[in-house]
A and B are shown apart, each in its own frame.
Chain A
Amino acid sequence: MQRRFVSIWFRQLLSDWQLIRRPELSGVPFVFAAPDHGRMMITAVSRLAHGFGVEVGMRAADAKAICPGLEVLDDKPGRPKKLLKGLGEWCVRYSPIVAIDEFAMDGLLLEASGCSHLWGGERGYLKEIVSRLKSKGYSVRVAIADTPGAAWAVSHYGTVTPLIPAGAHVDALLNLVPDALRLDETVLAKLRKLGFYQIKSFIGMPRSVLRRRFGDGFLLRLAQAIGTENEVLIPLQLPVAFSERLACLEPIKTRNGIEIVINKLLEKLCKRMQGEGKGIRSAVLTCYRIDGKVVQVDIGTSGASHDIRHLFKLFQLKIDQIRPALGIELFVLDAPKVDDVEVPQEEMWTSKPGLDDKSVIKLLDRVAGKVGFQVIQRYLPAKRYWPERSILKAVSVTEKPTAPWRIDKPRPTELLKTPAPIEVMAIIPDHPPKFFIYKGVRHIVTKADGPERIAREWWLDQGEHRDYYQVEDELGGRYWLFRSGHYGVENKYKWFIHGFFA
């Protein structure tokens, strides 16, 4: 396929951006300046200030002298890149591969192969880009050509037409100045000194001659513009292997509409995945609204799945979070995490019930989607005696216990999160209590077992050991009580209730 590239040059990126943010500056000449070696050097100039003769690279003090009433604004390093990143993400609507022009840091490069027909041809495509950006407030120059280099050259220096037909990019380059090749200032000065004012005057020279005079970098740039060397664009958003997009003619605002879109996207995506034996582990639905905002919702599954109905149900729980505002014009469904699906032979082997049962996994996915992953807990035995620490949370759904559950010691069916203090009457030291008062009710102990001494894990926390007693009151209620610390007059021992037995 013929590859086509679009270069978008933001002629006054920073000042346009400033004017959008602060429209009151429209009648005032202003510049951006950044400190450099103790002076304020101008880094960007507004159109009005340019009219006074203020140029990039001047000192701010000099510029103030030329242009009275000049507003000097602070420039932050890296701001153009940030702006371009935002604009580039917005431009994803025109092409999946959008890169920042790293050379001049004032434009974007788009790979437009196979994209322009959606806007009725390349002319319509460019017109759409220019007019949409203009309506935002950016003045841009664009060009489309076979190579990124040629598109860049024409967008910056072209005078005839921005639309370079396929195969004609070399001709278009011939009459341009060497600056159009994205060269270093030293090389350009050398070229000018030698009288090469147009590309055509050196493009036909032997490579060895050119290399000797201007170096490898020059040859690389030339080759990239002509197309003999491939230029790799680094996309702002790495294309996801499994991704589907749906652009809507009319902006979508209703829940019903969003559901239809999700269903359609899932149908397309899952069909591809089924063919490749893959399934979604996580998916992100990105909604581009017409007011320029982007809304995202994501889902995750505990096992790879390409079941449309299941995935749709997961998304259904999230639709409430999508705020369409004025409407959504573009939906992109990405599956950043995919896994191989084990295709079960459902007809022959009905799945064995258990934790990894398919319907259970689906249930967990839906609960995680609605309430959150953190509410789902499973417990495994820990090799510890301290009751609160004798169980630990399982990491995954299928994790198996490494040790058996202990059944030699009695443990209550209900364990209080924190032991509650009780009042106790015990006749003999180290014996179970005669009665205890918990929440204002007196329980007379009729039967008791114990004590079971559990020492504190001294390497974790300080404190007294616990002597646990299993007691039963006259009504049959069974309780787990403990005394913290040794019996004694000077000791501050205390009694607590820690649980209820069945």
Chain B
Amino acid sequence: MNAKKELFQKLQQDILLWQGFKPVASGKAERIGLGDIEDAFPGGVFPKKAIHEFITVFPEHSAASDGFIAGLLAVLMENGAACVWASTSRHLFPASLSLFNVEPERIIFMDVQTEKEVLWITEEALKCEGLAAVVAEVNNLSLIESRRLQLAVESSGVTGFILRKDENKTASTVATARWRISPLPSQSEDGMPGLGFPRWQVELLKVRNGNPGNFVLEWAGEKFQEIKKIKKQPVWSEMDGRQIG
């Protein structure tokens, strides 16, 4: 009986490894700076060898997602590696990345005409081991396309971020994690006037083999900072029928 249990455990570990999750290293785990959010992932480690999907319908969401990804890139690109950013309609302003500790000149932008080319570039780039990460902006991603990307990631270990513009068909990809980053009203120190640090509602909608959750996060100039206690804020998803006019 015991042997069987051990076997199951071993197989489970193997599956996790193939899916891009690193086993917990004894004692020190590699942190990406997300704090407690990382505990939502199996083993408590942010999966680098994986596809992360971000749902961005409104420009406010995609700006927030850009900021969140930029914060992650700051850690991923620490070793000097480059990053590819593929898109058909890019609005990202490179100069703003330096506010998130990313050197904008190390991002290679590929602005192409068609979605098909974005996906081709993404797949090729994900196979390229010299890169730290690949960010792709697409309208939608089919199951087959996402599976191809996942396969590319598993062999190379490059982190893939997919910014998806459509909200529907959310269940149809094999991404390891699905996020929705929405902006939250910022809080300035001691009630000073003006804007505070960018604050987001980080919804981890899906994690394979992990626990989805809902967090409030702030980019505190240098690093992420989780906000534990806040008053109830209106959440974007509840505000669909906003006043028009």
Q: Which residues of B contact A476 (CB under 8 A)?
A: 182-186, 199, 233
Q: Are B94 and A379 in contact (CB under 8 A)?
A: yes
A370-B120, A371-B112, A447-B185 known; A499+B233 contact, CB < 8 A: no
Q: Are A501 and B198 in contact (CB under 8 A)?
A: yes
Among candidates A357, A394, A411, A470, residue contacting B195 with C-beta atoms closer than 8 Å: A470
A446 proximal to B (CB < 8 A): yes
Indicate the member of B103, B131, B188, B233 with the most A CB atoms within 10 Å.
B131
Among candidates A359, A379, A414, A446, residue contacting B128 with C-beta atoms closer than 8 Å: A359
A447-B194, A474-B185, A502-B63 known; A354+B81 contact, CB < 8 A: yes
Q: Mark A262-282, 1 if CB is under 8 A from B, else 0.
A: 000000000000000000000
Q: Are B132 and A353 in contact (CB under 8 A)?
A: yes
Give the number of residues in B that approach A within 8 Å (Cβ atoms).
65
Q: Which residues of B contact A362 (CB under 8 A)?
A: 128
B17 proximal to A (CB < 8 A): no
Q: Are A411 and B95 in contact (CB under 8 A)?
A: yes
B82 proximal to A (CB < 8 A): yes
A416 proximal to B (CB < 8 A): yes
Chain A interface, >50% SS class: mixed
CB distance from B85 to the nearest CB of A (A): 9
Q: Are A352 and B80 in contact (CB under 8 A)?
A: yes
B245 proximal to A (CB < 8 A): yes
Q: Which residues of A contact B212 (CB under 8 A)?
A: none
Q: Are A359 and B130 in contact (CB under 8 A)?
A: yes
Q: Are A440 and B244 in contact (CB under 8 A)?
A: yes
Q: In the complex the two chains form, what is the Cα distance from A114 to B234 in whole Å?
A: 85
Chain B interface, >50% SS class: mixed
Q: Which residues of A contact B81 (CB under 8 A)?
A: 353-354, 357
A375 proximal to B (CB < 8 A): yes
Q: In the complex the two chains form, what is the Cα distance from A387 to B94 in whole Å?
A: 11
CB distance from A466 to the nearest CB of B (A): 15
CB distance from B189 to the nearest CB of A (A): 13
CB distance from A428 to the nearest CB of B (A): 15
Q: Which residues of B contact A376 (CB under 8 A)?
A: 108-110
Q: Which residues of A contact B104 (CB under 8 A)?
A: 379, 381, 391, 405
Q: In chain B between 191 and 243, which residues have their CB closer than 8 angstroms to a CB of chain A?
A: 193-195, 198-200, 219, 233-234, 236, 239, 242-243
Q: Which residue of chain A is the closest to B89 with respect to CB atoms?
A: A417
Q: In the complex the two chains form, what is the Cα distance from A441 to B81 in whole Å?
A: 41
B66 proximal to A (CB < 8 A): yes
Q: Which residues of A contact B125 (CB under 8 A)?
A: 363
Q: In the complex the two chains form, what is the Cα distance from A150 to B64 in whole Å?
A: 81
Q: Are A475 and B236 in contact (CB under 8 A)?
A: yes
Per CB-CB distance, the 9 closest pairs between chain A and chain B, nearest first, are A502-B67, A357-B130, A353-B81, A500-B63, A415-B93, A405-B98, A359-B130, A414-B91, A477-B60
Given contacts A378-B105, A391-B93, A415-B96, 11 further A-B contacts (CB under 8 A): A360-B108, A371-B121, A400-B105, A411-B93, A414-B91, A448-B194, A470-B195, A472-B185, A474-B234, A499-B93, A500-B60
